[in-house]
Chain A
Amino acid sequence: MNLAAAPGFHVPEVTHLLNFAPLFSFKVGGMEFHVTFITLVMFGLTFLLAALFVAAFRNATVIPGKLQNALEAGVDGVREQIVAPILGSDTERFMPLLTAMFFFVFAMNFMEVVPPVQFPLSSRMAIPAFFAALSYVIFNYLGIRKQGPINYFKGILFPPGVPKFIYVILTPIEFMSTFIFRPLTLAVRLFANMMAGHVMLTIFFLASAYFLYGADSIFLRVIFPFPFVLSIILTGFEMFIGLIQAFIITILTAVYIQGALHPEH
């Protein structure tokens, strides 16, 4: 490309932003596993979250301490805002799954703004894809177990209360939307949001640096505060987006579970 050779502001390649060189790799039964920085951070987060929850709730007291209070507020938020309005009487049954999902996804999204990492772990497709697969397996399993395989698939593919000839169009649409687009969009939504956020923050911060140092132009130095302030605001915005995305993937899983447990009549 001619663009890369030209002087001026370069946007780094997206693959360069999102790929990490493996720190070490090992082989198990013919499959090669690469352990990257992201893997290590992910395992670190898992242990951190587990340790936090154990520390807060192992000796739960009636008058909560600081840590217990904070985490209780979080768990309560998940229950009242996400799970209870959707699942109703099944709330307690799915609380462990959905709480873990919410906090883990949120922690991974939040890594976007935590200094030593500054990379949203969920912008690697493997992680959202895993959550989407988890959600997919769980809601299909629950639906099949609750309604029986025939009723379950019949309820989805041939929803009752429509004129017969509509099924010609409706059944393929329902099939695509339930079994293909549900997991696909669940994964792509989280992945694309976090990746877009990461790319956007990178470009804004690089542009601020370029405006100040890179270009020998008084005009760019004068307007330097605009991208800089905007990138700080966008950092806050990314924290908000991380929260919203964790919220959305949890609430959608809850909706899919609810749909599998209680079919429309």
Chain B
Amino acid sequence: MEMLLAQAAETTISVAAIGKGLVYGLAAIGPGIGIGLIFGNAIQAIARQPEAAGLVRPIMFLGFALAEALALLGFVLFFLIT
């Protein structure tokens, strides 16, 4: 019985560890794609019309910040899972 309990406790720990890894890994997929699209399109916009760089840059960082927030929520969850 005791052995079973100990085993169960160990299993819980490892499941939490797997969950921790998965949480950040999965949370990073979407924002990774999104940030790639944002910067790619901003580079394209600036390359096509260099005068618009001043206009594009704040919007680019805005989009970057909004997309990145999702990944960071995953990063925080990583520490919250026990």
Query: Does A230 belong to the interface (CB within 8 Å)?
Result: no
Given A192-B72, A192-B75, A193-B72, residue A81 in contact with residue B65 (CB < 8 A): no
Query: Does A85 belong to the interface (CB within 8 Å)?
Result: yes
- Please determine whether B62 and A251 come into contact, CB atoms closer than 8 angstroms: yes
Which stretch in B1-9, B43-51, B53-61 binds the other chain?
A: B53-61
Q: How large is the interface on A (under 10, 10 to 19, 20 to 34, 35 or more residues)?
A: 10 to 19
Assembled-state Cα–Cα distance A252/B58 (Å):
10
Assembled-state Cα–Cα distance A68/B39 (Å):
34
Q: Mark A87-100, 1 if CB is under 8 A from B, else 0.
A: 00000000000000
Q: Which of B57, B65, B79 has the most CB of A within 10 A?
A: B65
Query: Does A221 belong to the interface (CB within 8 Å)?
Result: no
Count A-B contacts at CB 8 Å: 43
- Please determine whether A81 and B57 come into contact, CB atoms closer than 8 angstroms: yes
- Please determine whether A86 and B65 come into contact, CB atoms closer than 8 angstroms: no
- Please determine whether B69 and A86 come into contact, CB atoms closer than 8 angstroms: no
Residues of chain A contacted by B68 (CB below 8 angstroms): 189
Query: Does B22 belong to the interface (CB within 8 Å)?
Result: no
- Please determine whether B69 and A185 come into contact, CB atoms closer than 8 angstroms: yes
- Please determine whether B72 and A255 come into contact, CB atoms closer than 8 angstroms: no
Q: How large is the interface on B (under 10, 10 to 19, 20 to 34, 35 or more residues)?
A: 10 to 19
Assembled-state Cα–Cα distance A93/B55 (Å):
21
Residues of chain B contacted by A144 (CB below 8 angstroms): none
User: Which secondary structure characterizes the binding site on chain A?
Assistant: helix
Query: Does B73 belong to the interface (CB within 8 Å)?
Result: yes
B56 to chain A, nearest CB (A): 10
Given A14-B79, A196-B75, residue A189 in contact with residue B58 (CB < 8 A): no
Assembled-state Cα–Cα distance A101/B25 (Å):
32
Contact among A185, A191, A192, A248 for B61, CB-based, below 8 A: A248
Contact among A80, A81, A188, A252 for B62, CB-based, below 8 A: A252
B12 to chain A, nearest CB (A): 13
Residues of chain B contacted by A81 (CB below 8 angstroms): 54, 57-58
Query: Does A247 belong to the interface (CB within 8 Å)?
Result: yes
- Please determine whether A252 and B55 come into contact, CB atoms closer than 8 angstroms: no
Contact among B54, B57, B72 for A188, CB-based, below 8 A: B72
Q: Which of A82, A192, A251 has the most CB of B within 10 A?
A: A192
A173 to chain B, nearest CB (A): 15
A207 to chain B, nearest CB (A): 19
Query: Does A70 belong to the interface (CB within 8 Å)?
Result: no
23 contacts between A and B (CB under 8 A): A14-B79, A80-B54, A81-B58, A82-B58, A85-B54, A86-B58, A185-B66, A185-B69, A188-B69, A188-B72, A188-B76, A189-B65, A189-B69, A192-B72, A192-B75, A192-B76, A247-B61, A248-B62, A251-B58, A251-B61, A251-B62, A252-B65, A255-B62
Closest 10 CB pairs of A and B: A192-B72, A185-B69, A248-B65, A192-B75, A85-B58, A189-B69, A192-B76, A189-B72, A188-B72, A251-B58
- Apart from A82-B58, A185-B72, list 5 A-B contacts with CB within 8 A: A85-B58, A185-B66, A189-B72, A192-B73, A252-B62
